[in-house]
Structure 1
């Protein structure tokens, strides 16, 4: 039943801008939110994997309030401010690239991806970009072109840039092994696309919208080899995998591979709009004066929030907490998989877990309708989750990494009781 608040939403925003909750959110605290009726939920959507440090983390709030006492905005290209430089310095020192790096701050993951590709094409003097089936890189035009999932992101919005080429991402559950994905890439480069025309390969360490599918170390290492042999830049899209989401500070820490450029966003600033393009210094410095820029990028307030996030990681054992979360969640979800024929797979790095729902383990036919029923029941029972995957049949967990153990256990219990 549509209530008054639904009518207000429907009357004022486009139908395509969907809301999961019927009522407005009025309060959030770490992993909990409350709506306008007073109903409490465990928030395992987390602003779509943004709230790694939870709602209203005290260190983030403190930093933001301090900044608001001074000034609210400055365009960095005109009047630089210390918060932005401090964030860039922190990221340069933390991201696992041994060489000297520099960082450029923007507003969103899509904007970061657009700039990463722009920089790669400028630096190499090449046009073509390789990305992967199932990958998601944003909703701006080039980012949509890179995205390898048509519905709902690309359908009806084309045509897209013809210099983007898609190849297979490993998906063991669906029969795409590392070996097969490597063969597909190598064959494409030897028969269809001249590697000397490729500026960059863009990849997520673990697919987000594409189904929470982790890439193996061996596959990413092969990409590094291909790039090194052909003068291609390797770009990691860590918009979703960064800042502890995978159980390590960055997704790159799982694969022991250094990219040339990386994009970071989502968990970077505790819910405030901020994103980063970080790359090897000689690449980042190759761009002519004013070739990159952003009016609202490096917002002093967002940068203050980011410094609060990084302070929390340094002082609160958040990464250690992800190990506890991962153990609780995977033990519970694997037990459910043993007991329910419609749970086909449980996977993911750390607590970045996807649960693939199928008609049966034997058929492996994606069951999106079952997912819808489960998500609706979870919401009714006080747990917010959303789906992903090429067929919309994967349930993903994106709760705060600061969620206390008892609430992680509560989330697993609600999920189990919502399997319909």
Structure 2
């Protein structure tokens, strides 16, 4: 699908035009219904047009559609930050700022750590994805297509292997690479921060090794290095709890938020230790649209729906359904291309591989088309674009979830 008025540098996964949606279902302009396992790439944990979110948007739109918070504060921003900082499960005092996106949250976090440490070097991880802005490009652990043709990127940034049972990289291997980094590449005292996802999204839903996470936290504490945890995709219930870092037994110094924070309305945030968030001079943080009142109202309604009980129930049900189906598919040898099930909670990926273990990228492309024709939207991921990431709304009706898994099962069986 090509539109002359739209940049051809934007890649389209599904060549359809959507008209409307409700919870886990969407319809295109031709009236065809699809079950949505993409969820706006992790934005719609509460589904399309959640009634509470829609009501909040409508009500706020009659009161105040916009004001720049740094010009004059407004109550939705203040109320949201109070709720949001209380929602983050850490033991220390938290403050933060709202942004327009996850990438903007990452950019501001880099400014904050530079101001706090006087250092500029950052250590990120292979397979990482933190955004498409110029500074976040260098954080990404993948060249194509993000870093191609854009020249020298802001830095310095160094990358380490990402240890996970889902990719076969062990904690010991990652720690050995870290030791080499600080022996060969850079003085540890020049490093401002590490930035890491507790579950990598773009890389194919790889869950971080718990032993490594705790070792990294200890290392950062020992060397006065700050730890940024990026929960832009894994946060707000995707793994069955508020944030995925809790399963690792660590806490971040700064936390990056976005995607499902506001039920589909553009919003992001960086929150963390109050002393860090307050270290830049007045005016060092802010933005014209950051914390728009309508987006704040949507986020307040989102947090209202995301009780711990709801998040646990939604996540446990979706995880059980996916794991049960996957195990049955493996048991019955549904497809010779069916590889590992990656991730945790309701943040799951299905790997497609050839008989020799190499990525089955062609079959994933085939699967996307077969599923779309059958009424199911899927999203690719992985370095070789060979892992399907499942991002159905947490609120998906059980019958619709099963219907979507039925379609996926039938399409997997057709791969050749």
Which TM-score bucket, shorter chain as reference?
over 0.9
User: Deviation digits for residues 359-397 of structure 1, max 9, x if unmatched?
Assistant: 12xx21011101000111010111101111111111100
Counterpart of 2:96? 103
User: Deviation digits for residues 298-350 of structure 1, max 9, x if unmatched?
Assistant: 00000000011011113982431110110001110232234133122101110
CA contact (8 A) 1:237 1:264 kept: yes
1:331 aligns with 2:324: yes
What are the within-5 Å matches in structure 2 for residues 232-243 of structure 1?
232-243=225-236
Counterpart of 2:265? 272
SS at match of 2:307: helix
What are the within-5 Å matches in structure 2 for residues 11-410 of structure 1?
11-314=4-307, 317-338=310-331, 339=333, 340-360=335-355, 363-410=356-403
User: How much has 1:253 moved relative to structure 2?
Assistant: 1.6
Output the CA distance in 2 between the equivalents of 1:318 and 1:30.
16
User: How much has 1:177 moved relative to structure 2?
Assistant: 1.2
Output the CA distance in 1 between the equivalents of 2:78 and 2:330.
47
- In the superposition, the TM-score normalised over structure 2's length comes to 0.96
User: How much has 1:158 moved relative to structure 2?
Assistant: 2.5
User: How much has 1:162 moved relative to structure 2?
Assistant: 3.9
Output the CA distance in 1 between the equivalents of 2:101 and 2:192.
22
CA contact (8 A) 2:166 2:343 kept: no
User: How much has 1:107 moved relative to structure 2?
Assistant: 0.3
Aligned-CA RMSD value: 1.3
User: How much has 1:161 moved relative to structure 2?
Assistant: 2.6
- In the superposition, the TM-score normalised over structure 1's length comes to 0.95
Output the CA distance in 2 between the equivalents of 1:268 and 1:211.
21
User: Deviation digits for residues 189-235 of structure 1, max 9, x if unmatched?
Assistant: 23322111000000000111112101022111111011001000000
| Structure 2 unaligned blocks of 5 or more | none
Output the CA distance in 2 between the equivalents of 1:207 and 1:157.
24
CA contact (8 A) 2:235 2:243 kept: yes
Q: Judging changes above 3 Å, is the alpha-carbon distance between structure 1 residues 27 and 162 closer, same or farther for their aligned structure 2 residues?
A: closer
CA contact (8 A) 2:242 2:311 kept: no
After the TM superposition, which of the residue ranges 188-197 and 83-92 deviates more from structure 2? 188-197
SS at match of 2:31: coil
Output the CA distance in 2 between the equivalents of 1:95 and 1:89.
11
User: How much has 1:157 moved relative to structure 2?
Assistant: 1.7
Output the CA distance in 2 between the equivalents of 1:158 and 1:336.
45
User: Deviation digits for residues 43-101 of structure 1, max 9, x if unmatched?
Assistant: 11111110010000010011111101111000000111111111111121111221101
Output the CA distance in 2 between the equivalents of 1:186 and 1:89.
40
User: How much has 1:265 moved relative to structure 2?
Assistant: 0.2
CA contact (8 A) 1:352 1:398 kept: yes
Output the CA distance in 2 between the equivalents of 1:379 and 1:123.
48
Output the CA distance in 2 between the equivalents of 1:121 and 1:73.
31
